[in-house]
Every structure is written in structure tokens, then in C-alpha cells.
């Protein structure tokens, strides 16, 4: 079996592979091919490249498994032949994204983003952050109750927050997205951790934002298109709410985009899932999936119905 992986370091991180598995590296969609793509049976594609990366599957008639390194699979859903199994990296990014969410919330509440700008200007801004707040006692809604949402909840709980969970459908104490109009006015912080699907695209629209309480914080660590950017910019420009964004639509943001300069916006360039611990976890998953596949055992993390 021929296995293509996305980076040379993956060889060491996977450890020994089953007999008969040949590992080759394709680090980017436009890099020189390490061999004939028609012979690839199991592919771990590079993270970057978007539609160009997906298009390579048209040159892989023998492809049977695509194992992503990302938790999100939106670029791949509906793009593969029926004989190809798509698996995401569920569980790999729980720690890093959950920690980013907590860091973003604390930074926004304590105005660390504003103070970092003041430091750059050599300005002692002590009197400028009288509206700094604490996380303790806040009501946090987590929209997206998957493994990252659960990991985020575990890390927020020690701060003494009140947590409300929202999933696609109501179950096991979780609210449905249909309940959001009633829930949003009660929340101090709304965290978006749901996948991008046809149903969630543009979910954070004018009505969603208008329902948020004055002074509330919106945290998007999901996908940029989950939020309607025009509606988001319009609401944020009033100063009524704040936002911490790791993802945007478009991405990257154009240099003249208004989100760059809004004082009530903390923006990071889609780095929530980028820490030193990610690749070792990711390739442990790859190695496990390869062993499962070669042994004829069921794969985990199969993407079905967009999830």
C-alpha cells in the first residue's frame, strides 16, 4: 500500500508502519510529486492549498482513504468519489484550540490586546482600561458540543463560570441551535466551535448579533464563514459588543479590512490549532488509522453528513 503524508517529520512521528506500507511525502499541493499519484491508496494531505489540494484526488483512482490533519472537513465534504473514506482529526486539536479560547477570553476581558498596542506605542495606558473585567461568574454559551467544545468547557469550569451547551439538536442536557434566540440575551460570552456546513454558514447573522447582550463577547474559533462578516462588522462598529476572532471570512483579511483596526476586536491569524503538540498527536492518529486500515478494522473519525 502506498501512503502519502504531508511532512517528512511524519515518518518519525508515526513510528514503524505495517509491513507492505510504502511512505512518501507530498508537503504541498504544488510540490513535485514523490511518485505516481494513481498508485496512492491512503493520503494525509497538507493543510494548505484548499481546492487545489482537493483537486489532486482526481489523479488518484486508487485512493481509498483521506485522513485529514484538521478537525474541520468542510473543504472536502462532497468532493470525493463514493469509494473514498474521509476522516478528520477529531481529538487532535482539542487542547490547543481550547487553550486559545481561554486565552482569547481572558485577553479580551482584561484588555490585554489594547494594552499590547499601548506598549508598542510606549504609552502607559493604566487609566484607559477601567472597563477591564473578570471571567469569574460569567455565563458562557459554547455553540458546538464536539470534542473541542467539551475540552473548552473543562478548562473554563475552574474559573467559576456558568456554562450552557448548544448542539445541532437538543440532547443530554444540551440545547438546540433553535434555542439560541432565547439564550443569547442571557450570555456574557458566546464561543463558536461548530463545523462549517450548509446549515451553519452565515449562522451568526444580524439577528444573532442583535440578540447578544450589551457588552457581550463573541469568540470565533470555528470557521470564518460561520459568521456573516458584513453583519459582524456593522454590529462591532457600534461598540456594543466585543469579538475575539481566530478565523474570518475572507481569510486572510485584506490589509484595508475594518476588522484590523477595531478597538473592540482581538484578531489572531488562524493559529488556534497551531502548537508544538499538534503534529505528534496528529501522526499518532495517522499511524493508528493506517494500522486499522491494513488490518481490515473500522476506521475512526469518519466524516458523515458533514461532521
Comparing C-alpha atoms, which of 292, 285, 249 is closest to residue 267?
249
Domain hosting residue 249, numbered range? 94-267
- Catalytic center residues: 223, 251, 270
Residues 127 and 171 in one domain: yes
Q: What is the DSSP letter of 186?
A: G
Integer Cα distance of 24 and 158 in angstroms: 44
- Give me the tens of pLDDT residue by residue for the chain, a chain 307 residues long: 999 999 999 999 999 999 999 999 999 999 999 999 999 999 999 988 888 999 999 999 999 999 999 999 999 999 999 999 999 999 999 999 999 999 999 999 999 999 999 999 999 999 999 989 999 999 999 999 899 999 999 999 999 999 999 998 888 889 999 999 999 999 999 999 999 999 999 999 999 999 999 999 999 999 999 999 999 999 999 999 999 999 999 999 999 999 999 999 999 999 999 999 999 999 999 999 999 999 999 999 999 877 7
Asked if residue 200 lies in contact with residue 192, where contact means CB atoms within 8 angstroms, the answer is: no
Burial class (CB in 10 A: 0-12, 13-18, 19+), 120: exposed
Residues 147 and 53 in one domain: no
Residues 69 and 116 in one domain: no
Comparing C-alpha atoms, which of 7, 6, 4 is closest to residue 37?
4
Comparing C-alpha atoms, which of 243, 234, 237 is closest to residue 216?
243
Residues 238 and 109 in one domain: yes
Residues 51 and 170 in one domain: no
Q: What is the domain-level CATH number for residue 59?
A: 3.40.50.720
C-alpha distance from residue 303 to each of 10, 65, 67, 68, 298 (Å): 23, 11, 10, 10, 13
Residues 250 and 152 in one domain: yes
Residues 72 and 153 in one domain: no
Q: Which cell is 213 given?
A: 447582550
Amino acid at each position: 500500500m502506498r501512503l502519502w503524508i504531508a511532512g517528512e517529520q511524519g515518518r518519525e512521528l508515526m513510528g514503524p508502519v505495517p509491513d507492505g506500507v510504502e511512505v512518501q511525502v507530498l508537503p504541498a499541493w504544488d510540490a513535485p510529486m514523490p511518485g505516481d499519484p494513481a498508485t496512492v491508496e491512503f493520503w494525509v494531505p497538507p493543510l494548505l492549498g484548499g481546492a487545489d489540494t482537493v483537486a489532486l484526488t482526481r489523479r488518484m483512482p486508487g485512493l481509498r482513504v483521506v485522513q485529514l490533519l484538521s478537525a474541520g472537513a468542510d473543504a472536502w465534504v462532497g468532493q470525493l468519489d463514493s469509494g473514498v473514506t474521509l476522516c478528520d482529526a477529531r481529538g487532535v486539536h482539542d487542547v490547543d484550540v481550547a487553550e486559545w479560547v481561554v486565552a482569547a477570553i481572558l485577553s479580551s476581558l482584561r484588555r490585554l490586546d489594547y494594552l499590547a498596542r499601548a506598549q508598542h506605542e510606549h504609552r502607559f495606558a493604566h487609566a484607559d482600561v477601567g472597563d477591564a473585567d473578570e471571567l469569574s461568574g460569567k455565563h458562557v454559551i459554547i455553540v458546538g458540543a464536539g470534542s473541542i467544545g467539551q475540552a473548552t468547557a473543562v478548562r473554563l469550569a475552574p474559573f467559576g463560570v456558568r456554562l450552557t451547551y448548544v448542539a445541532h439538536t437538543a440532547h443530554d442536557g444540551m440545547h438546540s441551535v433553535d434555542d439560541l434566540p432565547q439564550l443569547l440575551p442571557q450570555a456574557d460570552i458566546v464561543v463558536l466551535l461548530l463545523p462549517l456546513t450548509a446549515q451553519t454558514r452565515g449562522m451568526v447573522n444580524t439577528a444573532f448579533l442583535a440578540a447578544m447582550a450589551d457588552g457581550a463577547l463573541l469568540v470565533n474559533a470555528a470557521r470564518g464563514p460561520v459568521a456573516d462578516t458584513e453583519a459582524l462588522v456593522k454590529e462591532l462598529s457600534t461598540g456594543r459588543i466585543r469579538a475575539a476572532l481566530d478565523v474570518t471570512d475572507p481569510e486572510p483579511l485584506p490589509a484595508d479590512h475594518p476588522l484590523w483596526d477595531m478597538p473592540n476586536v482581538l484578531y489572531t491569524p488562524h493559529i488556534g490549532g497551531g502548537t508544538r503538540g499538534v503534529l505528534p498527536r496528529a501522526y499518532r492518529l495517522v499511524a493508528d488509522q493506517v494500522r486499522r486500515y491494513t488490518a481490515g478494522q473500522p476506521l475512526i473519525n469518519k466524516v458523515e453528513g458533514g461532521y
